[in-house]
Amino acid sequence: MDLSQKSRKALEYDKITEMLALECSCEESAALARALVPFDDIEKARHAMRETEDACRLSLRFGGPSFYGLKNIKNQLHRAKIGSSLNPRELLDVKSVLYAIRTLSHYRETSESMETCLDGYFDNLAPNKYLEDKIDSAIISEDEIADTASEELLRIRRAKKRTEERARNQLEKIIRSPQTQKYLQEAIITIRGGRFVVPVKAEWRAEIPGLVHDTSASGSTIFVEPMGVVEANNELKVLSSKEEKEIERILDELSKEVGTFADSIKESADTAVLLDFIFAKARLAFKMKATAPKLEADGGIELHKARHPLLDPKTAVPIDLYLGGNFDTLVVTGPNTGGKTVALKTLGLLTLMACSGLMIPTAEFSRVVFFEKVLADIGDEQSIEQSLSTFSAHMTNIRDILDECGENSLVLLDELGSGTDPVEGAALAVAILEYLKQKGAKTAATTHYAELKVYALQTDRVENACCEFNVETLKPTYRLLIGVPGRSNAFAISKRLGIDDAIIDRARELISSEDSRFEDVVQKLDTTRQNMEIERGRAMLARTEAEKLKKQAEELKKSVEREKEKELEKARREAKRLLEQSRAQAQMILNEIEALRKMKDTQDAAELRELAKTQIGAHLKQFERIADPVKEKPAEPYKLPRQLRPGDYVLITDIDKKGTVLKAPDSSGFVEVQAGIIKTRVRIENLRLLDENKQQQKLQSSIKTNIDRSKIPAKNELDLRGYTVEEALIEVDKFIDNAQLAGIGVLSIIHGKGTGALRSAIQRHLKSHRAVKSFRLGHYGEGEDGVTILELK
């Protein structure tokens, strides 16, 4: 689309692009927003509109993606590619962009269930976690390199720290010694020229042998480097030089890595900027409460409930605008400040926005024609410098418009023919509209001239419109009425303001009979319109009531379906619960079988096998009971005789298993229970308290009869490297249980160093374990941070 600078300024298109720029997350995408212009091809405009729509759909369903960290790093990438070394700040900027790219890629992974036309952009992103982590682990801030950036840097800094401590210790002896303290200005250690010194009183200079590095402004204090620390300071100087060289080497190595991936990073960053620009269009659409219009190559414009995007949406009056369907020229009349110019600007600006791929603040099913040119003459163009009057300036603009316009042009003219003699101005306005009509342009013009109202009434494919004015309140309603010519309302307004009736009657006599008859016709048309609107309102009310009843019926149907779905979901949850219980029971059987397998060579194996058969038979019966979801409910619900305490013996009713309470019930009603070698959390209503003394005797008897500690397979060391946290905690519990049964008091758990996540999880678990007396990390020779040593109670 061809858009002149004058038309762009008249329609305030630049304000829209600035609003779009403010929605962008980085300067590059903001620059794209400010440079946005209507497309020169309708397919490009349609594609851009689809991108904006899909960005809105993704944002509504999954939330908008984060573009945090996105910035312009083209200069850094270019310098790294040609071999230059980047400073820490520049490397951190590269890391920031890599983080933004990875975040966007992850966002698409979480939203991949929705197919969009943006998928190609997301697929073009190439996250580089390797380089991101390498920069992150090496650089803490733009002023600090991490000790772990390299082994050499860590060695140098450790040596530097030891040397500093040696130097400080020697200086501490001097400032704390009663013999030398009296020679010092202050008992402090300071640094001059990168070397440790002490402040000595000038008159006692000879008493502290060493090198003088500085004096105070008054000359009363000299800063002396005692001879005892000269060697340490020299070593520090050498180590500092090595540290700087190692940091330079690290930065150079990182820069080379960046240069290796420069092309890939640049391509991904450019894609991320483009995505930011597209999602900024979606964010702007949400703010404007905009919709996507249908873009047509020809036909008519249809804007339903359109609002000017620069007006407050809370106070702006929506208007309906049509042009190019049944008529090609629209003549808008009405009083000043009635909304004529706003209607004209709304038509032009929304057309430009739609042709730029931006959604527009209208109701759904609006249509916009893709024009080759949008030409506007709006506002006062008076120029003192060029000695042009308002009329001359308008005519100059209109001359350019008449030269440029064609069949696929939208022309917007405000106050056509004003600023000169009314008779000549009206005639000129009619002639201009006729010329534009002959050239095939779609035209909307505002005017005060009655002659143009008559022209619109008498001419084919030319239509009147007016901005409604309430004579009773003397205020415009800002409603645009198409098909109705506007009235001047001068006499009615004057009468309401208190002008004498005699003056108004005389004024009526002075106007021509033709004008009077025309005004009467317009008044009758307006009265008819108002009556039709009343009837239309009644019809709309009846339609609304019918739609309300229909909606209620649909809601009732949906309610029934929801209840149906709720019952199905309840059945699914119950089936899932039964399945979980079955799995738990099966796991218990498997664990007991495993324990039998391990104890198969003991003298009590035969007796235990018989016991296992009996238990498995009971478990199978329990499976059958669980598999039948229809259960008989007890006549009266069971109530615990008292609160459960750790050590209580209970029956787990839903799996018919006895166990011991490990922890009191928590706030959500769950109790931790030890059933055999299995620890589990059971709802309190599924527990029955058993007789404590009998259970204790039975348990002790069972242990004495069936368990021979010397034959229980147990170890004092457990290796958990490679396990997940959940798997590791299960193994730890089994390990401690076996150790208790075997009578082992001190255990070692090997978890490795790694990130420390596994070590932290295990130690948190040990803190709350009832069998653990204490635990600590391994000492030198025991595995240090990779091992936890624990002592059992």
Q: Is 475 annotated as a binding residue?
A: no
Q: Checking phi first, is residue 689 left (phi over 0); if not, alpha (psi -120 to 50) or beta?
A: beta
Q: Give the relative orientation of helices 605-627 and 513-598 as an angle to the nearest 10 degrees.
A: 160
Q: How many residues does the chain have?
A: 793
Helix, strand, coil % over all residues of the chain, rounded to 5: 55, 15, 30
**SS3 label, residue 769:** coil
The edge-to-edge listing of strands for the beta sheet with 294-296 is: 294-296, 367-369, 301-306, 319-323
Gap between the Cα atoms of 42 and 50, Å rounded: 12
Cα four-point dihedral sign 480, 483, 486, 487:
negative
Q: Is 617 annotated as a binding residue?
A: no
Question: The tokens of 354 are what?
Answer: 């739609």
Question: The tokens of 134 are what?
Answer: 């390498």
Task: Say if CB 59 and CB 279 are below 8 A apart.
Answer: yes
CA-nearest of 285, 261, 231 to 81 is 261
Q: Is 120 annotated as a binding residue?
A: no
Amino acid at the residue 392: S
Task: Say if CB 340 and CB 468 are below 8 A apart.
Answer: no
**What is the Rg, in whole angstroms, of the alpha carbon atoms belonging to the chain?**
44
Q: Cα torsion at 561, 566, 570, 575 (round to 10°)?
A: 40
Task: Say if CB 786 and CB 766 are below 8 A apart.
Answer: no
What CA–CA distances, in Å, run from 748 to 81, 347, 643, 738, 745? 51, 79, 37, 13, 10
Q: Is 326 annotated as a binding residue?
A: no
Gap between the Cα atoms of 664 and 670, Å rounded: 9
Gap between the Cα atoms of 287 and 23, Å rounded: 10
Q: Is 558 annotated as a binding residue?
A: no
Gap between the Cα atoms of 194 and 177, Å rounded: 24
- Unique residue bearing structure tokens 């009837």: 535
Q: Strand 746-750 to strand 787-792: parallel, antiparallel, or no bridges (unpaired)?
A: antiparallel
Q: Is 72 annotated as a binding residue?
A: no
CB burial class (10 A; 0-12, 13-18, 19+) of residue 687? buried
Q: Is 338 annotated as a binding residue?
A: yes
Q: Is 341 annotated as a binding residue?
A: yes
- Per the annotation, binding residues for ATP are 334-341
- Per the annotation, binding residues are 334-341
